[in-house]
Structure 1
């Protein structure tokens, strides 16, 4: 059957599911996703370049890893699963940072329309990339991450997230947001 995404109404309630592979196109339905920022003990943040052959947003530089929670899967479990799959590392201390982040973006006729909570998580191993998902990675200090906003290859969701993340200061100082602000379709 393949991976399923959780479809949402505008208030964030689940209204069904759909196959992920068939759901990202010019009329992509509003659905649940997440973005993660992986941080090491020194405060460096992992940024990633999406694989050149991906159907949606190929080659863009963005946060560490993105994904879609499966129906019934908690946000923490979805982050751990996807980071392990894409980057081959185990995360710890997952912290909810932006529970209400919503965006819509288009590239090459493919639309992303997501309620996409943003989390920070820690890793202490070097990633092993899944070439179907990730083309390249870089560890950057926070100033280097902020500089990525000037890169024309930066993803639109990364740019929108940075508007909210930069005022929060260094990633090591980010604090847990209120999980009650998550969409009703997912548990923390």
Structure 2
């Protein structure tokens, strides 16, 4: 865990243009430094998205529910490439194509640890091949849960303190994308490994 805090993240301006780098730890110490991040949603054939409960050892928002996977690309690395690698590390899932469905910029302070999130967050969506299995890393993920986007929106309103503070914003980008008629859902036959 400590070694991940020393990894470099890409600092950005409010338009998402790279302006430098900092360690994960430095970027998340108050008042925080705006940096590039990614939030992945994996969706199944029934239209449900996978949530993860963040492990208790996380330095920011432990045991809160978040989207499928989050992380920070190293400077110069495309967010989708970094996210594919992170899905393998956290969930043991590889080879899922990801598309960007929006960007969400936010600031949040963890009341427990005092660490902050000040992120330019690329929201990514991947459609799971039929029969995908998961091998969650227990140092990253406490539990997994499948929910419909509509159910997730209701949960965020009824019990906001159980969820990571960015989840509402990234969920709104996802729902907007899914409801946009110019981005229809893929037919099962069009999915990777689908029939």
Secondary structure, aligned partner of 1:137: strand
Equivalent position to 1:40, from 44, 51, 58: 44
Corresponding residue of 2:104? 101
Structure 2 runs not aligned, ≥5 long: 185-195
- Check 1:81–1:174 CA distance in 2 against 1; reply closer, same or farther (3 A cut): farther
The normalised TM-score by structure 2 is 0.80
Would you say 1:175 and 2:168 are equivalent positions? Answer: no
Give the greater-gyration-radius structure (CA): 2
Measured in 1, the distance between the counterparts of 2:147 and 2:179 equals 12
Structure 1 runs not aligned, ≥5 long: 177-188
Higher relative contact order (CA 8 A, sep 6+): 1
Larger mean CA deviation between 60-69 and 85-94 belongs to 85-94
Instruction: Please give the root-mean-square deviation of Cα atoms over the aligned residues, in Å.
Output: 2.3
Larger mean CA deviation between 160-169 and 63-72 belongs to 160-169
Equivalent position to 2:143, from 136, 141, 157: 136
Query: How many residues end up aligned between the 2 structures?
Result: 174
Measured in 2, the distance between the counterparts of 1:9 and 1:167 equals 25
Corresponding residue of 1:179? none
Tell me the CA shift for residue 101 of structure 1.
Answer: 1.5
Measured in 2, the distance between the counterparts of 1:23 and 1:142 equals 30
Measured in 2, the distance between the counterparts of 1:62 and 1:93 equals 20
Measured in 2, the distance between the counterparts of 1:148 and 1:17 equals 36
Corresponding residue of 1:50? 54
Corresponding residue of 1:158? 167
Secondary structure, aligned partner of 1:101: strand
Secondary structure, aligned partner of 2:80: helix
Would you say 1:6 and 2:10 are equivalent positions? Answer: yes
Corresponding residue of 1:110? 115
Measured in 2, the distance between the counterparts of 1:51 and 1:81 equals 19
Corresponding residue of 2:192? none
- Check 1:148–1:70 CA distance in 2 against 1; reply closer, same or farther (3 A cut): same
The normalised TM-score by structure 1 is 0.82
* Runs of 4+ that moved beyond 6 A: none
Corresponding residue of 2:64? 60
1:112-127 equivalence runs, <5 A: 112-124=117-129, 125-127=132-134
